[in-house]
Amino acid sequence: MAERSSPDYRHQLTLRDVSEASGVSEMTVSRVLRNRGEVSEKTREKVMNAARQLGYVPNKIAGALASNRVNLVGVIIPSLSNMVFPEVMMGISKVLDATPLQPVVGVTDYLPEKEETVIFEMLSWRPSGLIVAGLEHTDAARRMMENSGVPIVEIMDVDGNAIDAAVGISHVRAGRETATEILKRGYRKIGFLGTKMPLDHRARKRFEGFEAVLKENGLTLAAEEYYSGGSALGKGREMTANILKAHPDLDFLYYSNDMIGAGGLLYCLEAGMDVPGKIGLAGFNGVDLIDGLPRRLATMDSCRVEIGKAAAEIIAAEAEARGTSPHAKRTEISPIFATGDTLRDA
């Protein structure tokens, strides 16, 4: 025989306790606490009072097992360190706040193996949905998600094949459009400054789109500079100093994100350079920060909050409908190129 040792040091309050305290069956107590089914006002009050009195907190683990309903949404992102993903989270939170769903965050550090582990962990909670950054995963991770029966929304990127639904911008197009704007304004000796991140597929796609347009116009990048770690603003400053020392003839600097771009902008202004006359600058992301700089950096908004919201809406609708109505498979959001003050007129 198997008898449970209920740990004496802590007796967890159960529905049964509320039932006994109120003189109402467990079932009815459950109904009251979940606002489900018809219950007389009198009973409802007896139950509510007893529950409050005891300080009863329902056990969602048991509830989830019995009902096969888990109000958690897994959110799997590469990093928390650069405000991009926290902003996605804000969009997700805003939408989920109006539902019974709760986000659970997992961080992958841009490591495919870690992503696989995190996805496995998440799926083992049978969540109401999974929101995963990016379209690139290990084969095993892909398979797990495909077979999970859980709605999967891949976010940030739409350049590739989604498992279920994708919400994001096209980074290839973002890179292309930025290059187009730059060339249109007559800049020709272009330098690229970015992060040393072979696994940041979105940065890579922007770069590819950017380079493709240069190539189509008979140009190539005149210089490249990469960094890793440290204060992005400080690194932007440093890298800009380096690249301009090595290539004083550059007339444009394209930064893979606004933070390093902001550092570069501050550097150029302090050095007394003519921005955007002699040298133009552009970044990527459209962070809030650029509104406070001496000049507004040209950039392309990555629509982070919007993406988070759209992804959460798909999951929320799916959770509501329980698979009875189909959802959008591909939501491409079109970011607007913001000229700012660091590009000369066309």
Cα–Cα distance for residue pair 332/317, rounded to 1 Å: 18
Q: Does 278 bind DNA (CB under 7 A)?
A: no
Contacting a second copy within 3-62 (CB under 8 A): 7, 9-10, 12, 55, 57-62
Indicate which single residue of 20, 48, 54, 58 sits in contact with DNA (rule: CB under 7 A). Answer: 58
| 335 preceded by a cis bond (ω within 30 of 0) | no
180 to each of 176, 210, 211, 302, how far by Cα in Å?
6, 8, 10, 18
Q: Does 320 bind a second copy (CB under 8 A)?
A: no
Minimum distance of a second copy from residue 289's CB (angstroms)? 5
Q: Does 24 bind DNA (CB under 7 A)?
A: yes
Contact partner, 80, from DNA, a second copy, none, Cβ < 5-8 Å per class: a second copy
Indicate which single residue of 237, 301, 310, 311 sits in contact with a second copy (rule: CB under 8 A). Answer: 237
Q: Give the range of 7-15, 255-263, 300-308, 312-320 binding DNA by CB under 7 A.
A: 7-15
Q: Does 117 bind DNA (CB under 7 A)?
A: no
Q: How far is CA 191 from the centre of its chain?
A: 28
- Please give the biggest Cα pair distance in the chain: 85
Indicate which single residue of 39, 48, 90, 222 sits in contact with a second copy (rule: CB under 8 A). Answer: 90
Pairing of strands 102-107, 72-77: parallel
Cα–Cα distance for residue pair 28/44, rounded to 1 Å: 9
The answer to whether 106 touches 76, Cβ cutoff 8 Å, is yes
Extract the tokens encoding 100. 């019974």
Q: Residue 45 or residue 291: which is nearer to a second copy going by CB?
A: 291
Q: Which amino acid is at 206?
A: R
Q: Give the range of 31-39, 141-149, 150-158, 222-230 binding DNA by CB under 7 A.
A: 31-39
H helix runs in the chain, sequence order: 15-22, 26-34, 41-54, 60-67, 84-96, 112-123, 139-147, 171-184, 201-216, 232-246, 258-270, 304-321
Q: Residue 173 or residue 235: which is nearer to a second copy going by CB?
A: 235
Q: Residue 143 or residue 196: which is nearer to a second copy going by CB?
A: 143
Within 8 A by CB and 6+ apart from 54, the residues are: 13, 17, 18, 21
Q: What is the 3-state secondary structure (H, E, C) of 162-182?
A: CCCEEEEECHHHHHHHHHHHH
The answer to whether 31 touches 13, Cβ cutoff 8 Å, is no
Q: Residue 222 or residue 269: which is nearer to a second copy going by CB?
A: 269
Q: Does 233 bind a second copy (CB under 8 A)?
A: yes
Q: Does 148 bind DNA (CB under 7 A)?
A: no
* Best CA proximity match to 104, nearest among 85, 89, 117: 89
Q: Does 126 bind a second copy (CB under 8 A)?
A: yes
Q: Does 4 bind DNA (CB under 7 A)?
A: yes
Indicate which single residue of 6, 220, 228, 325 sits in contact with DNA (rule: CB under 7 A). Answer: 6
Q: Does 72 bind DNA (CB under 7 A)?
A: no
Q: Does 76 bind a second copy (CB under 8 A)?
A: no
Neighbours of 250 (CB within 10 A): 20
Cα–Cα distance for residue pair 200/211, rounded to 1 Å: 17
Residues that bind DNA (CB under 7 A): 1-6, 12, 14-16, 24-28, 30-31, 33-34, 36-40, 42-43, 58-59, 62-63, 65-69
Residues that bind a second copy (CB under 8 A): 7, 9-10, 12, 55, 57-62, 64-65, 68, 70, 72, 80-81, 83, 85-87, 89-90, 93, 102-107, 120-121, 123-126, 143-144, 147-149, 230-237, 262-263, 266, 270, 288-289, 291-294, 323
